[in-house]
Amino acid sequence: MLSDSLAANYAEAGFHSPLGFGKSPALVLIDFAQAYFEPGSPLFAGVDSARAAAMALLAAARAAKIPVVFTRVIYQADGIDGGVFFRKVPALKCFLAGNELGRFADGLEPLPGELIVDKQYPSAFFGTSLATTLHASGVDTVILTGLSTSGCVRATCVDSMSHGFITIVARDACGDRHAAPHEANLFDMNAKYADVLDQETILAYLARVDS
C-alpha cells in the first residue's frame, strides 16, 4: 500500500538517494537572458534571487578555475530552426537573433574564453556538442543553474544524468515564473536524476576543488 505522505511514498521506493560530488566539476548557467528580468517582457519571471545566487556560484567557479558554460537560446528569422517548440511557445520570439531581450542578463555575462552553447530546444545537450566537450575536458560533475526550473533546467538535468555526469542542481540559483512548478520540478529532479543542493553547500564544495 502506498503511503499518503509524499516524502514517505518516495522513500519507500528508494528515491532521493544522494549521489555526492565528483572530483572534476563544471558550472553550467542555463539561459540567463534579459528576457526573464525585463518588466514588460512576455518571459518576465521576477527571479532576481536566482540571478544573485548564480552570480555567487559563478564567482566561486572562476576562482576555482573550473570550466564555466553559458547557454543561450537563439533563433534565425521567423524561428525556422525552432520547429514545434517555437510554435508551442510564442514567447520564444524574445530569442530571435538581434532581439535585445535575448542578451545575457546583467552580471552573468561570459568572459573571453568561457564556453557559450547556442541552442534552440530546452536541453543544453540536445543538438549541441556540450556532452562531448565536457567529457573531453575530464568533467565528471555538472552543476546546473538557470531558467526556468521546469523547462530548460529540468531538460538539461535529465540529459546530463543520461550522459553519465553526476548532476547537481543549485536550488537557489534556479528560478521559474511560479513557485508550484519550481518546487515540483526540484522535488522530481532530486528524486530521480540529481542532487538538489543549496548555494552554501555548493560553494563549500567549490572551495575544496583542486584546480
From 94, 152, 157, 174, active-site residue:
152
Please state, as a whole number, how many other Cβ atoms lie within 10 Å of the Cβ of residue 113.
6
Round to whole Å and give the CA distance between 48 and 50. 5
Residue type, 111: L
Round to whole Å and give the CA distance between 131 and 17. 24
152 carries an active-site annotation: yes
Cell numbers for 85: 517548440
Residue 39 CA, distance from chain mean position:
22
Rounding to the nearest 10 degrees, give the CA dihedral for residues 86, 180, 191, 201: 100
- Exposure string over 137-146, b if 16+ CB within 10 A, otherwise e: eebebbbbbb
Residues with active-site annotation: 152
